Structure 1
Amino acid sequence: MKQLKTRWADKLEKDHVLKEYPRPSLRRKSYVNLNGIWNYAFSDSRKRPDTFEGEILVPFSPEAVLSGVGRQLRPGEYLWYGRKLPDEVKKEQGKRWILHIGAADQCAAVMVNGRPAVRHVGGYIPFSADVTDLLGAAENELTVRIQDHSDRVFLARGKQKLERGGMFYTAQSGIWQTVWMEQVPDDHIYGIKITPRYDEGEVEVLVRSRRERGVVFTVCSGETQAAGAEGCTNRPVRIPLKEIHRWSPEDPFLYRLRIRMGEDEAESYFAMRKISAERDQRGIPRLFLNNRPYFQKGVLDQGYWPDGLYTAPSDEAMIFDIMEMKRLGFNMLRKHMKIEPERWYYHCDRLGMLVWQDMVCGGAPYRHWYVTYAATAMELFHIRPSDRYYRLLGRRDVKSRARFMQEMKETVRALYNHPSIVVWVIFNEGWGQFDANAVTEAARREDASRLLDSASGWFDQGGGDFWSIHNYFFPLKVRPEKRVAALTEFGGYCLKVKGHSMCPGMYGYRIYGSRKELGRGYASLMGREVAAQIDRGLSASVYTQLSDVEEEVNGIYTYDREVLKIDENIIKKCNEKLVIKE
């Protein structure tokens, strides 16, 4: 496999790796970034090794070339990280130090000065610990122990596979998002939950704290006089807005929110937007944005990088993907089987890009003959099999099903405040699917403000807000349905670009030999499969995919983001036609 690098890898400075503030939805002045050079060691024992064997660039996983390691963590092994904490991290009367890890794949045990700080299971959800009482008077050492079973157990893994190939990619492990610390008062804000009440012209804010305290809010728009409100923590507070400036991809306006609780002060932001499923004037179920029909033209986004795997080499690289798709006329990204660092969602919020967020799949190994080949055939003949065949779908273990439910709720809570997210995608193509209708309703109880794609692709159980279609092989014909019709995967047209492909093999759904031929095929597909179906009820589309990934060469861009494989004028013209006529 040929190693590719992106342009941002050459600009990477080991002392300034992903230094941007990692939690824009709750920002404080205190911020200590711990990314950079750490020590590492592999072992086959839970006991800490006597010495480290080298240096690793955090937050890149050891499998990623940017980490400087280039070794895969295998099931049964342990990966150890170690570093000294900065001198500024020291005990201070009336203050607490909170350690944050954006994500560590899959099982993490964190220690400060050899004493346990926190354990966490799950490779995609951020976690934290108050480490104040573990700090010493002199030097302080931070140690992290990682285990990653990858696709050998039922934990969430997305599209990672130890034996990569085709639609499954290199498994990565360890710390892959920013590690940082902040100093807070003894009595501090634990978290916030922001819900725009669009029709009422209000925003609802819930501030969480250890015990009930008074809290003061200030809302600034830059257009009207600041609005203020007071209330109590652990209770929702409604703040009326004098004038509403609507958020949309065309006008991604954000309000600034300041929060003060005692000695603790923080900043956040929100947007006034509403996503709903309604019937249009002809009685067709449609996606509505801010109470008007709105066609969502999207791209499947795997979030993989040739040099960083799960971790983008820089903030600028993440922005590039979003802005390029927006420039080409897309207004939505479906984040596929991965949860990004919070800054990615922040950029979608401020730049104006709608997001459909997948829950990350897991479960025991699936029966691929069933979830791929048999499922495709059943879909052709409109056969709807039950998703209670747990063994075939990799969910025989009760603990496996409980773990998915837990992580689904954690995902919603972690990303709730980002207005760009408008749809939660619960299951995809039967991968680890079970009891979809019950799981979907549990998700709705967590978040009633967004729409739910219960079963993207096949194994549809009739629930959720969408008839969610994957169509790579057959002519598409949208038929009347009680739910919104969405083409949530299609295309996957392939072109291998010499010098910009990683693998000798190719994977995709239709192979083209030149950029010109690919452009013609894309234009024909968009007209036939998408534009022609809008009048029949189609309300969203998701083209596969944003970039090549390893053997998959079906991207709009090459894996290294250097070559736009389809003429940009063709893409723009196709997207201009994707409009719901009112």
Structure 2
Amino acid sequence: MELDLRRVIGGMAPEPLDVELHRLETPWTGQVERSEHPRPEHPRPQFARVRWRSLNGWWDCAVRPCADARARWREARPPVGGAWESRIRVPFSPEAPLSGVGHRLAPDELLFYGLSFDAPALAAGERLLLHLDAVDWACAAYLNGGRVAEHVGGYLPFSVDLTDALRTGENRLELCVFDPSETGTQLRGKQRIRRGNMWYTAQSGVWRDAWLEVVPAAHLVGVSLAPDPDAGLLRLKARVCGTGTLRVEVCAGEEVVATGGAVVGPGAALPASAGAAGPDVSGQGAGGAAATGVVGEASLEIPVVSPRLWGPEDPFLYGLRLSFGDDEVTSYCAFRTVGVEPDVEGTMRFCLNHAPLFLRGVLDQGYWPDGLMTAPSDAALVADVRRAREAGFNLMRKHVKVESERWYYHCDRLGMLVWQDMVSGGGRRHEWDALNKPTLFRHAQAAFDDRPRLHQRRLSAGDAAFREEWRETAAGTVRLLANHPCVVTWTLFNEGWGQFDARAATRLVRSLDPTRPINATCGWYDQGAGDYHAIHNYFRTMRVYPETLVARLAGARRAFFVSEFGGLMYHVEGHSSLDRAYGYDKFDSEEGWREAARARLEEAAALEGHGLAGFVFTQLSDVEEETNGILTYDRRLDKLTGERFGDAGGVG
């Protein structure tokens, strides 16, 4: 019998436990607790200036009840005088142990932040920008009592020009944050107030870097990079404020191998608040500046002779130096192509630089017991990527979360491929349609049209505001991460969760980025769109299935991919957040788990000869009640090798 009912029954999600999690420390916890300025590295290695300053560290903090928080967060004023009752360590959410707060924000509460800082000396025309790389979910920002920005969306960065509100000497920056968690329909990924089984602790507020940056009057706003190894060209599009000459140097190590330049004139005027709308909202690539005043645009094609190709075995990065007037920015790029192409036998395969590459992937939730969605340190991010590589994986699937840009930078330089999921959300799921039916009946996985409003409601996508936020955030995610060579596939919808009109969503993402394959529907409810037929297989015999009827009727030619499998549970006492564990097959010993995990990985790899293009094993680390990771949640034990890790030193 193909379906293993024993595993299905064993994998039924129990009711969440409303209990405190056991305190777990990663190898980096103590290091962060002893530091006044956590995570001091530049937050954006692909768009870095010299004049920047981290605002990570201790801020004033207060939580206030507010019966109408959803309506009042834009106008609610921060506490005055001595009303700040605690401090919070930014960039960790109040729910995260490393924040020092230990408070779970409720939907009827507002969270306030306050920080005093001395204004840097600015020369004539220079601007001071504030960057908040992620605030969950809605945020109003004030400087010296006046509101300077507001932003909605928990996973993308936003920036604001503070210059006109600055005072000489000390300045006061304050934030008001509202987060409805699962009581709303906004994008939120795996977060839930009622955490348990496959759902994790909800968090709120600032959870990625906060920092200041000084830019000249004429400066670069953003850059889009499109290295084309087939043509031997670096295609580059830059957005600038002001008028001047753009110069670009392409470097291999210290050697300048190519140059280009253009004179840039003024373009259309943007409103002064444009920078608060999200990362480079015009779609011209990642950048660091809030657009103020007049913006121009320049496109360059810079020949690079016989470019060195990027790949897992040789992740070669070309350095870039960009200048515009007095503004200087450092960046990098890589030459590589990705796509889904037929092999010599006509089987559709994932191809890197036009050569088939079998993808051995691992699911990465990006959660930590001390920082929740915020890694405790940069070294912790590096350690996860390295351990995935050492375990034999060449791909990490970043699951329904947009990670810190430094994580993508480390994947770029270490040669780790990334499947990037879009963040999920929406209303309450109809469990039969969204989960149980496609689990029990394989043919039902492609028999559900996601365009009727009734079907969208049953997949938690009935709210028009959610659908619009999903489109905007998906577009913002593509624009934010498009310059990273490690990102090789966009995944749009996972297991029908928040799914709506996947064909239209595929067209949207393809129009923004025609260079990468798209996994339109991951798991089930295939609509014949995208470049993969991607299924999840936790409960059936591993095999390669033929294309779905809807895809055949559409004439699709796609690669077959098992985008989740495994889920093997081994609970390690002293290294788990809860006494209860969740997973599919349960193992009572490390050796038993290791033997089963290796057998499943070998079983999947053996299907390459039958047409499988790759797989994603669940998962890199345990997360709270889920104990199906290769690494324990505290990153102290590698279950696959038996290796133990002490405090940070040689780790990462």
TM-score range, shorter chain: over 0.9
Asked if 1 retains the 8 angstrom alpha-carbon contact of 2:144 and 2:171, the reply is yes
> Cα deviations across residues 134-182 of structure 1 (Å, max 9, x unaligned)?
0012310000110001111111100000100000000000001110011
| SS of equivalent residue, structure 2 residue 298 | coil
Aligned residue for 2:576? 501
Structure 1 length-normalised TM: 0.95
Match of 1:576 in 2: none
- What is the alpha-carbon distance in structure 1 between the residues aligned to residue 35 and residue 592 of structure 2? 42
1:218 aligns with 2:249: yes
Aligned to 1:347: 410
SS of 1:235's partner is strand
**Other-structure match for 1:423:** 489
Structure-1 separation of matches of 2:56 and 2:78? 22
Q: Alpha-carbon deviation of 1:409? A: 0.3
Q: Does 1:135 align with 2:155?
A: no
Residue 371 of structure 1, aligned match among 428, 434, 439: 434
Name the residue aligned to 1:20.
Answer: 41
Q: Is structure 2 residue 366 aligned with structure 1 residue 303?
A: yes
2:91 is matched by which residue type in structure 1? P
Aligned partner of 2:220 among 181, 189, 196 = 189
**Aligned match of 1:275:** 338
Matches within 5 A, 1:252-263: 252-263=315-326
Query: Partner residue of 1:77?
Result: 109
1:409 aligns with one of 448, 472, 475: 475
- Which is worse superposed, 504-513 or 232-241? 232-241
Distance 1:56 1:491 in 2: 38
- Paired residue for 1:573? none
Residue in 2 that maps onto 1:37: 58
SS of the residue aligned with 2:610? coil
Separation of aligned partners in 1, 2:383 and 2:256: 34
Partner residue, 1:486:
561
Q: Cα 1:54–1:568, aligned 2, differ >3 Å: closer, same or farther? A: closer
Note if contact 2:119-2:169 (Cα within 8 Å) is conserved in structure 1: no
SS in 2 for 1:364: coil
1:314 is aligned, of 351, 370, 377, to 377
Give me the whole-angstrom Cα distance separating, in 2, the residues matched to 1:170 and 1:270: 36
Cα deviation, residue 226, structure 1: 2.4
User: 1:49 maps to which residue?
Assistant: 79
Q: Work out which of the residue numbers 639, 643, 652 in structure 2 matches 1:565.
A: 639
1:486·1:539 contact (CA, 8 Å) conserved in 2? yes
Q: Matches of 2:613 and 2:97 in 1, distance apart?
A: 40
Using the TM superposition, give the Cα deviation of residue 527 of structure 1 relative to its aligned residue in structure 2, in angstroms: 2.6
Match of 1:549 in 2: 623
The one-letter code sitting in structure 2 at the alignment partner of 1:562 is: R
Q: Is residue 43–residue 49 contact of structure 1 (8 Å, CA) maintained in 2?
A: no
Q: Name the CA shift for 1:115/1:386 in 2 (closer, same or farther; >3 Å).
A: same
1:222–1:139 CA distance, 2 compared to 1 (3 A)? closer
Give the match's secondary structure for 2:408. helix
Distance apart, 1:561 and its partner CA: 0.4
AA of the residue aligned to 1:149:
P
Give the match for residue 179 of structure 2. 148
The answer as to whether partners of 2:445 and 2:526 remain within 8 angstroms in 1 is no
Greater mean alpha carbon deviation, residues 416-425 or residues 43-52? 43-52
Distance 1:339 1:565 in 2: 26
Match of residue 294 from structure 2 = none
- Counterpart check, 1:162 vs 2:156: no
Paired position in structure 1 for 2:127: 96
1:266 aligns with 2:329: yes
> What's 2:202 paired with?
171
Q: CA deviation at 1:265?
A: 1.0
**What code does the residue aligned with 2:42 have?**
Y
- In structure 2, the partner of 1:11 is 31
Q: Taking structure 2 as the reference length, what is the TM-score of the superposition?
A: 0.85
Moved more, 226-235 or 494-503: 226-235
Contact 2:119 2:171 in 1 (8 A): no
Q: Are 1:335 and 2:387 counterparts? A: no
Distance 1:352 1:228 in 2: 26
CA distance in 2, matches of 1:236, 1:166: 49
| In structure 2, distance between residues paired with 1:399 and 1:132 | 33
Q: Paired residue for 1:470?
A: 536
**Structure 1 contact 305–560 (Cα < 8 Å) conserved:** yes
1:55 corresponds to which letter in structure 2? R
Displacement of 1:122 = 0.5
2:100 is matched with which residue?
68
What is the DSSP-based 3-state SS (H/G/I as helix, E as strand, rest coil) of the residue aligned with 2:592?
Answer: helix
CA distance in 2, matches of 1:345, 1:525: 28
Looking at structure 2, the residues matched to 130 and 88 of structure 1 have their Cα atoms a distance apart, in angstroms, of 13
- Tell me how far apart the structure 2 counterparts of residues 217 and 319 of structure 1 sit (CA, whole Å): 29
Distance 2:434 2:444 in 1: 15
Report the CA distance shift for 1:298/1:41 in structure 2 as closer, same or farther (over 3 A): same
SS at match of 1:556: coil
Identity rate, percent = 44
Tell me the residue number matched to 1:451: 517
